[in-house]
Chains A and B, each alone.
Chain A
Amino acid sequence: LESYLQDVQQFSSPKMHLEQYPTDPHLAASVLFTAESSYGDLQGKHVLDLGAGCGMLTIGCVLMGAEQVTAVELDKDAIRNLEENLAEMEMEEMCGVVQADVTSLPFRDNLQFDTVVMNPPFGTKQNEGIDMVFLEAALSRCRGAVYSFHKSSTRDYIVNRFESDDYKVEVIAEMRFQIPKMYKVHRKKEVFVDVDFIRISAG
């Protein structure tokens, strides 16, 4: 799985305000493998990838047996990268792409997906709280499980806010994201952020 994902092309024109960087292929491979092997959340399922970017998670889901993946992405340039990656992997048949804003999803009211996967923006001063907006959007569209990445510093907040009779929050793994210097503004070569990989399941 990981070797296929290593061939996924990166963003050709990354945009700072959208926090665009590719999900690390090794990481994507491990988390998606876990989602299927431990929970059976991908094989034969209809999956939603929110903020799909260049498609690392979309492609990983198809490789793990997802029957249909719907990818939502805001940025036209990223969609171009996504399309090319899907074409290279010959996965266009299993995927539908919609250009839209995750904060305002254009899905009919009763539409639910089996599984939602995402690597959401963590939020900067300009759009603080965007990570929680993504999580709310994901949960509202999911009949099964949501898989997402969030700063470990937000873990308590997430558990307090979402853990309930209706939802179970699990921290499946802790990791360090190495976010490369992609933009002139970054002074260091790369930044390390402690990140939780979480699973929130309904019912």
Chain B
Amino acid sequence: MSGKDIGLEPLVDTTISVITNDGRNIVGVLRGFDQTTNLILDECHERVYSTKVGVEMLALGLYVIRGDNVAVVGELEDESDSQIDFNAIRAPPLKPITH
């Protein structure tokens, strides 16, 4: 049995949506990862959710996200995502992870 049983291998070079421990949502292209779930995210942006206005997108560029801070890595469906009207979405920000 190896430590890399699952791996994020199939997601490399695809667009992913990361939920971080502080409740942020970062979307970008996964370029690399390791066993502690450190991530290299290319062309990424943060999606800021609010109850008052639509989703704000903040351009970030090339990021390394430390594995300690990673909660969820989701495979983003581009067709589905391009159909969303982000201006219409109202939602409170995600809560931070508390151990």
Question: Do the two shown chains form a genuine complex with each other?
Answer: no
Q: A residues within 8 Å of B by Cβ?
A: none
